[in-house]
Amino acid sequence: MSDPDWFDEFVTGRGPALLRFAYLLSGDYGLAEDLVQGALVKAHRRWAGSLAVAHPEAYVRRIITNDFTSWRRRRSSRVVVGPVPDTPYGDTADAVADRDLMWRALSGLPRRQRAVLVLRYYEHQSNVQIAAVLGCAESTVRSLATRAFAALRRNPEIAALETCEERQ
């Protein structure tokens, strides 16, 4: 893995997936680009040095997640979430409205709770994998997910949406 071409191939092949992951975490395309760029710079130091990275994509995702949570602690402003890139065409108006509602609700969650939901439902990772990315215990991941779901259930817009669906 010390071959410099290997890192270039990794960035070319996995860069778009890493950018999408960072966007899902941050909700801001510019910040997502900054997170990926910073993570790749940090990861490149590992490639350039004598230490090899056993699971490069997991390692870079962890750097992105850690940098995102650190950024959220330093910055008190609220992130406005825009549309998710690479969505399929042909969505109905209701599906678009529901997705927008969910993104607004996710943007209101604390950073670690949001990271757990993004890793679980958008990156399809298990609790073990999420715990490794966040550097915490599996029980903490479960607790964060439980709190996130409780907060989402308390959201009046989501409660109204659930009530409408039950009537149909």
Query: CATH number, domain at 134?
Result: 1.10.10.10
The average pLDDT across 107-118 equals 90
* Residues 127, 168 within the same domain: yes
Q: How confident is the model at residue 9 (pLDDT cuts 50, 70, 90)?
A: confident
* Alpha carbons 141 and 138: distance in angstroms, whole number: 5
Predicted confidence at residue 1, as pLDDT, reads 45
pLDDT greater at residue 26 or residue 47: 26
pLDDT surpassing 80 at residue 85: no
Final residue in a domain of this structure, among 32, 47, 78: 78
* Alpha carbons 1 and 15: distance in angstroms, whole number: 18
How do residues 41-72 score in pLDDT, each as one tens digit? 888 887 755 445 677 888 899 999 988 888 65
Q: How confident is the model at residue 162 (pLDDT cuts 50, 70, 90)?
A: low
* Residues 149, 114 within the same domain: yes
Predicted confidence at residue 96, as pLDDT, reads 73
**What is the domain extent for residue 102?**
91-168
Predicted confidence at residue 86, as pLDDT, reads 62
Predicted confidence at residue 92, as pLDDT, reads 67
Given a contact cutoff of 8 angstroms between Cβ atoms, the answer to whether 66 and 10 are in contact is: no
155 falls within a domain? yes
118 falls within a domain? yes
Could you give the angle at which helices 111-121 and 56-74 cross, rounded to 10 degrees? 150
Q: How confident is the model at residue 99 (pLDDT cuts 50, 70, 90)?
A: confident
pLDDT surpassing 70 at residue 104: yes
The average pLDDT across 136-164 equals 85
* Residues 107, 74 within the same domain: no
**Tokens representing residue 32 in the block:** 């997502």
84 falls within a domain? no
* Residues 64, 136 within the same domain: no
Cα three-residue angle 28-29-30, rounded to 5 degrees? 95
54 falls within a domain? yes
Q: How many domains does the chain have?
A: 2
Q: How confident is the model at residue 74 (pLDDT cuts 50, 70, 90)?
A: low
What share of the chain in percent tops pLDDT 90? 31
Cα three-residue angle 37-43-45, rounded to 5 degrees? 110
* Residues 96, 72 within the same domain: no
pTM value is 0.57
